Amino acid sequence: MAQTIHRGIKTLLEEANREVETIKAKDLMAALKDDHLVIVDLRDPRELEREGRIPGAFHCPRGMLEFWIDPESPYAKPVFQQNRKFVFHCASGWRSALAAKTAQDMGLKPVAHLEGGFTAWREAGGPIEKVEPRKPKE
């Protein structure tokens, strides 16, 4: 019987952080006005409504990332077809590390992720804009 090799989340995160550029909140703040930078917020819509967001960030729920990046997908988003640098973030830097590695593996580049996520951004005093709750469809 073949042995099953289990690669846990700790291993996946270590690999992602070795292979993907990590950017600190203060450095991202300094680069906010850079037109060649796209900040991609991977958090759930409820997190955005509760916590707010980095001004100008593009919201891409983590579950849609691969579909929105792939130009051959019927769900492809034009923002991911642009020649820009993509900085992914989530709440704490775990989802964004894995997402940035996936994006890089799919050929999107250059990519990075925000060390410590939105929590680090808020703690570093980064600007935050309020997100209004979505109204239910009638």
Q: For residue 120, what are its two tokens?
A: 């680090």
Confirm or reject CATH 3.40.250.10 for domain 32-123, answering yes or no: yes
Q: What is the pLDDT of residues 38-55, one digit of tens each?
A: 999 999 999 999 999 999
The whole-angstrom separation of Cα 99 and Cα 107 is: 12
d(CA 41, CA 39): 6
φ/ψ of residue 86, rounded to 5: -110, 120
Contact 59, 92 (CB under 8 A): no
**Predicted confidence (pLDDT) per residue in 67-123, tens digit:** 999 999 999 999 999 999 999 999 999 999 999 999 999 999 999 999 999 999 999
Question: What one-character-per-residue DSSP string does 94-109 give?
Answer: HHHHHHHHHHHHTT--
Q: What is the pLDDT of residue 6?
A: 73
Coil, helix or strand at residue 54 = coil
What is the predicted pLDDT for the residue at 5? 64
* pLDDT, tens digit, 9 for 90 and up, residues 21-39: 999 999 999 998 888 999 9
Please indicate, yes or no, whether the overall pTM of this predicted structure exceeds 0.85.
yes
Q: What tokens appear for 82 in the block? A: 């642009």
* Domain ranges, ordered by start, for the chain: 32-123
What is the separation, in whole angstroms, between the first and last Cα of the chain?
56
pLDDT band at 134 (very low <50, low <70, confident <90, very high): confident
